[in-house]
Chains A and B, each alone.
Chain A
Amino acid sequence: MELKTVGTAGTLESSDVLVTLEPGPSGIELSLESSVINQYGRQIRATVLETLKRLGVTNAKVSVNDHGALDCTIKARVECACYRGCQCDADGKYPWGGVIK
């Protein structure tokens, strides 16, 4: 998927994560802030990168502001930000269980 514009999803509430994706020149540039960065920083980073890879996003500036989100929430917010940034509504049929999993 190719980002056309800035895509944002999530909030700064506890247990949530705010994800912003911007079209970038080349590669993934990830900046991460988290209330639990010392404990889970590596895992959050891995989940974000894995989700982007599954979605086929290769060029993006990614900003992640985490407030203790579970893995399932991180995935959900990255995917939503991506679909918004790609201005893609999947023709109203999202690939649940496909690239979204």
Chain B
Amino acid sequence: MSGVILILALTLSQMLLVAAMACAIWRLVRGPRAQDRVLGLDALYVAAMLVLLTFGIRTGSTTYFEAALVIALLGFVSTVALAKFLMRGEVIE
């Protein structure tokens, strides 16, 4: 019984998270400006990290945790670099 509840909740939450990733991708593609795209990318990697954690609960293995940690680290660094680029890399004088 408890297994059924957990599997149902895991499936539901994975579907919700994939929908969240789809929304983030929509914002990433539509823009309209560069900062909106970076914001979409940021939301995308957070949702991807959470999907990996739910996979970890589903399979009971802790390997997914390391992948989630790497995604969190790389996502942070890339968003900071892109934000810095937006502030300095484009000359609008």
Answer yes or no: are A and B bound together in one complex: no
B interface, CB within 8 angstroms of A: none
